Chains A and B, each alone.
Chain A
Amino acid sequence: MKRTSFRYVVPGVAALALTLSACGAGNEGSSSNGSGNSDAPSAASGLSGELRGAGATSQEKAQEAWATAIQGLNDGNLTVDYQGIGSTDGRGQFIDGATSFAGSDSYLKDEELESARERCNGNVIEVPAYVSPIAIAFNLPGIDSLNLSPAVIADIFNNKITKWNDPAIVADNQGVELPDADISPVHRSDDSGTTKNFTDYLGKAAPDNWSYEAEDAFPVSGGKSQAAEGTSGVVELITNTENTIGYADESQIGDLGTVSVGVGDTFSAPTADGAAKVVAVSTRVEGRDATDMATDVDRTTTEEGAYPVILLSYLIACENYDDDTEAANVKGYLSYIVSDEGQQAAADAAGSAPLSDEVATEAQGIVENISAG
């Protein structure tokens, strides 16, 4: 009598397994939406298989938009899998060969470039994906905007200024009701390109107040500071906690209040225009390959309206891949990203600033040379 139980269980389990594997997700069948779109570069269609990338969490929203769009262009035959794990780890995984491309908020360091060249057996491609202001965002009920000079920002983030109604803050914000509350600076807990750009800015714009090197890991700990993982982790923490201030890609901060930073004698808000002005005066890193568009951002510009706390977000890939499909996928995806349509998609979905025509054309030229063999 008991024995029969097994007899029922085994076919039952088998049948269940069959039913499950027989039906895929409702949305994964071939669809043909979007394939009629003619603006996209030709390399971006006719692709299939899986394309793996990883890196900057600041790119997550934009990557989602790009991946979705190119999946649509290829009738659901291509899967683009971008993992937001932070710029540093993204570069590491690319060099390791775990991913086909990386997204990064800072360009490859010299020693990383060496290993990347080895991984690629040749030239490494580094093109900007988009430019975005890093917003210094805060959560103070009723306050949308504050003026802070670089020195004050530095002192807030190294826990020297601890109250929102500190005279140094009040001085630049006449007429704003600042609460008598403790400031809680929020930084990234993981290694991050956003952190590197932000600390680079602090070190260059307020050298007397910020003595740390530009680093992927945030250098200050303790006091009232707190940390969260990823861009959205930081944004979520600030959004849900009053009296906090932190830094994150402007495209992802939602309705949070933002700091206008002191530039020269005025204060500029984080805008795409302000970011573009800074890019215009920034210089290329010397001694890099022709396929490498690495740029040193000018943090100390005094041009009016310029917003120097920006990140230039890069796409890192190889010029040559062993595998045909991999090469075609990377080429197609990257050319879509730097195309007008891709830039527009990111601007719509993530609110990033599109690349200037000049930069986009150069990037397009580099990406077109991706090949196999």
Chain B
Amino acid sequence: MSIQSPPASSPTLTHARLPRQAPLMVGAVAVAVTAIGLVLGLGSVAAVLIGALVFLVVLPVWSLAVENRRSATDRMMTGLIWATFFVALAPLVSLVWTVVAEGSQALSGTFFTYSFYRTSLDQPVGVYHAIMGTLVITGVAALISVPVGILTAIYLIEYGKKNTFSRVVTFLVDVMTGIPSIVAGLFAFALFTLIFGPGHQSGLGGAVALSLLMIPTVVRATEEMLRLVPDDLREAAYALGTPRWRTIVRVVLPTSVGGIIAGVTLAVARVIGETAPLLLIAGIVQRTNFNPFDGSMTTLPVLIFSERNKGNIEIVWGAALVLMVLVMLLNVIARVLGKILAPKQG
């Protein structure tokens, strides 16, 4: 608003405005109302809601009285739009709080080192077997999907620029992104039932199902990173007589390795919490199983689901906490790696 009206000119160009601190003042009133509500014995949720309502109503009404209708609308929308964020925050806070509060009670030494296998009823149980199962299955899934995903992305970016085959593959990768996880699980379940007979369960089946979900994420992340590699680098390598594949392996990949590892880590984080496919094909056992080719394999998500059904609620919250920490850890690692190893551009 750089145009300034001369002080004596027609007053229609400017209008009265609320003081700058108006939102703060109304906010203080709203907080006070919330506090009074709490003192008067309202539930905390109700008190906060009433406080928010006071804020969302008073400021526009005040604005309407002092300013004009347009400003009032603007102030109301500003309040509402900020409110959306806090509304979305509520379930996250509640969920994290519940999981941490309930889950931390289950944690103990044996919780991490024991499995469900017991030889006497008074022994404690732990989730060691489920943690190992989760690591083995996601590890195998990563072993399948990382090479396939990265090589495919290399093909799409470095070789098959826009030819028909690469367009088809790009399209199919899009389709894969949309496969519901239960359908991937059903596919693996039916496939392994067909091959090995009814009731077959194995970690490998789970890994196959997870790979279907993981590959598109890996392809996407790698593609994005390869695109960031400046063509100058490639051309410089070619000019030195470096063969194309060595250029890719020695120049292009190392430049984008940070982003690719970050992308792969995020993809792992995404599938590590998958439940539905593993419920069908990996199953659940009491004992630790390291062999993905033979026998059912317990994973954390499936353990959470099935023990919840059995009512072992303490173990369930503990396992949920472990799973959440695993996922968050992977996310943080991905972020840190992405930042540290990011190609320096410019």
Q: Which residues of A contact B (CB under 8 A)?
A: 2-3, 5-6, 9, 17, 20-21, 24-28, 31, 33-34, 50, 60, 64-65, 68-69, 71-72, 75-76, 79, 81, 83-84, 93, 96-99, 229-230, 232-233, 235-236, 349
Q: Are A84 and B310 in contact (CB under 8 A)?
A: yes
Q: Are A5 and B121 in contact (CB under 8 A)?
A: no
Contacts of A93 in B (CB 8 A): 198-199
Contacts of B287 in A (CB 8 A): 25, 28, 79
Among A9, A24, A75, A230, the residue within 8 A (CB) of B310 is A230
Q: Are B115 and A28 in contact (CB under 8 A)?
A: yes
**In the complex, how many angstroms separate the beta carbon of B238 from the nearest chain A beta carbon?**
19
Nearest A residue to B340 by beta-carbon distance? A5
A27 CA to B114 CA, complexed, in Å: 5
Closest 5 A/B residue pairs (Cβ)? A98-B199, A72-B119, A26-B113, A2-B254, A25-B115
Q: Are B120 and A97 in contact (CB under 8 A)?
A: no
A72 CA to B135 CA, complexed, in Å: 29
**In the complex, how many angstroms separate the beta carbon of B301 from the nearest chain A beta carbon?**
17
Contacts of A2 in B (CB 8 A): 254-255, 257-258, 341
Stretch at the interface among B77-85, B125-133, B211-219: B125-133
Contacts of B255 in A (CB 8 A): 2
B117 interface contact, C-beta 8 A? yes
Given known contacts A5-B261, A25-B288, A99-B199, what 10 new A-B pairs fall within 8 Å (CB)?
Answer: A2-B257, A2-B341, A20-B290, A27-B126, A28-B115, A33-B119, A76-B117, A81-B286, A81-B296, A93-B198
Q: Are A65 and B310 in contact (CB under 8 A)?
A: no
Within 8 A of A (CB), among B284-310: 284-288, 290, 295-296, 309-310
B110 interface contact, C-beta 8 A? yes
Q: Are B118 and A68 in contact (CB under 8 A)?
A: yes
A97 CA to B120 CA, complexed, in Å: 29
Nearest B residue to A24 by beta-carbon distance? B288
Q: Are A26 and B139 in contact (CB under 8 A)?
A: no
Q: Are B121 and A34 in contact (CB under 8 A)?
A: no
A233 CA to B341 CA, complexed, in Å: 48
Q: Are A232 and B309 in contact (CB under 8 A)?
A: yes
**In the complex, how many angstroms separate the beta carbon of B26 from the nearest chain A beta carbon?**
41
Q: Are A71 and B199 in contact (CB under 8 A)?
A: no
Q: Are A50 and B257 in contact (CB under 8 A)?
A: no
A25-B115, A28-B115, A79-B287 known; A72 vs B120 contact (CB < 8 Å): yes
B250 interface contact, C-beta 8 A? yes
A2-B341, A83-B284, A232-B309 known; A20 vs B199 contact (CB < 8 Å): no
B123 interface contact, C-beta 8 A? yes
Nearest A residue to B121 by beta-carbon distance? A68
A97 CA to B343 CA, complexed, in Å: 56
**In the complex, how many angstroms separate the beta carbon of A253 from the nearest chain B beta carbon?**
11
**In the complex, how many angstroms separate the beta carbon of B341 from the nearest chain A beta carbon?**
7
Q: Are A71 and B114 in contact (CB under 8 A)?
A: no
Q: Are A71 and B118 in contact (CB under 8 A)?
A: yes
Q: Are B119 and A97 in contact (CB under 8 A)?
A: no
A230 CA to B284 CA, complexed, in Å: 16
A6-B257, A20-B135 known; A235 vs B284 contact (CB < 8 Å): no
Q: Are A79 and B117 in contact (CB under 8 A)?
A: yes
Nearest B residue to A9 by beta-carbon distance? B261
B197 interface contact, C-beta 8 A? yes
**In the complex, how many angstroms separate the beta carbon of B330 from the nearest chain A beta carbon?**
14
A33 CA to B285 CA, complexed, in Å: 22
**In the complex, how many angstroms separate the beta carbon of B69 from the nearest chain A beta carbon?**
48
A20-B135, A25-B128, A97-B197 known; A31 vs B119 contact (CB < 8 Å): yes
Among A3, A21, A71, A84, the residue within 8 A (CB) of B117 is A71
Q: Are B128 and A26 in contact (CB under 8 A)?
A: yes
Nearest A residue to B109 by beta-carbon distance? A26
A28-B288, A97-B198, A233-B309 known; A17 vs B139 contact (CB < 8 Å): yes
Q: Are A235 and B311 in contact (CB under 8 A)?
A: yes
Contacts of B295 in A (CB 8 A): 50
A220 CA to B331 CA, complexed, in Å: 46
A33-B119, A72-B120, A81-B286 known; A5 vs B198 contact (CB < 8 Å): no
User: What does the 1/0 interface line of B310-333 toward A look like (CB < 8 Å)?
Assistant: 110000000000000000000000
